[in-house]
Amino acid sequence: MKHLCVYCGASASGLVFREAARDLARGLVSSGWGLVYGGASVGLMGVVADEVLAAGGSVVGVIPRSLQDREIAHRGLSELHVTEDMHERKALMVSLSDAFVALPGGWGTLDELCEIITWRQLSLHHKPCGILNTAGFYDAFFRHLDRMDADGFSRFNYRTELVVTDSTVEMLRQLTQSGQPG
């Protein structure tokens, strides 16, 4: 089984974001993917994990010891890995995953998204990466990426290198077409 790493918020958010997380989770299971995510039972992280589990899918959580209580580690997962720190968490999530998708989230989501894109830009991995742009959440981020490119700070064309869509169906279709899962 191939695993999709989903980066998303550990905080509560609006209905449109929770519904997108549920849609992605259901589609993920029906497309044959397992889930790798940050291990929490709260926020969008809890929504996506609970929905994958409810649909009979496999869920692997990875949470640092320091966040185990604060983010309320999910106790009903297929697997839960507790790491010593955030660096170990992110490295383990990458090694366990075959592709990556960012849903809306806060600083942690942005950190993980930027790191995985940077690693792809530097050819440290060649796994598909996507951004689910629910309700235009990442529009300002894309404008910033365009500015970085225009000012010569980046040569990474996110439009051709990343799957960017507001549709969970389209996200999973494009990831599957890229050779995942198999």
Listed range (25-29, 53-57, 152-156) with the worst mean pLDDT: 152-156
The two three-digit tokens of residue 112, written as one number: 């993980």
- What does the DSSP 8-state code read for residue 40? B
User: For residue 92, what pLDDT is reported?
Assistant: 97
The two three-digit tokens of residue 132, written as one number: 């689910």
Mean pLDDT calculated for residue range 20-43: 96
How high is the mean pLDDT of the chain?
92
CATH number of the domain encompassing residue 139: 3.40.50.450
Helical (H) or strand (E) element with 150: helix 139-150
Tens digit of pLDDT for each residue in 45-87?
999 999 999 999 999 999 999 888 776 899 999 999 999 999 9
Closest of 81, 78, 13 to residue 47, by C-alpha: 13
Listed range (40-44, 112-116, 156-160) with the worst mean pLDDT: 156-160
Q: Examine residue 122 and state whether it is found in any structural domain, yes or no.
A: yes
Name the pLDDT band for 179 (thresholds 50, 70, 90).
low
- For residue 143, what are the domain limits? 2-177
The yes-or-no verdict on residue 102 having pLDDT over 60 is yes
Q: Examine residue 30 and state whether it is found in any structural domain, yes or no.
A: yes
Q: Examine residue 182 and state whether it is found in any structural domain, yes or no.
A: no
- Domain count across the chain: 1
The yes-or-no verdict on residue 39 having pLDDT over 80 is yes
Q: How far apart are CA 92 and CA 179, in angstroms?
A: 22
Which letter, b or e, does each residue of 60-87 get, where b requires 16 or more Cβ atoms within 10 Å of its Cβ? bbbbbeebeeebbbbeebeebbbbeeee
Q: Examine residue 43 and state whether it is found in any structural domain, yes or no.
A: yes
Closest of 73, 140, 150 to residue 110, by C-alpha: 140
The yes-or-no verdict on residue 177 having pLDDT over 90 is no
Q: Is residue 23 a contact partner of residue 6, using CB atoms and an 8 Å limit? A: no
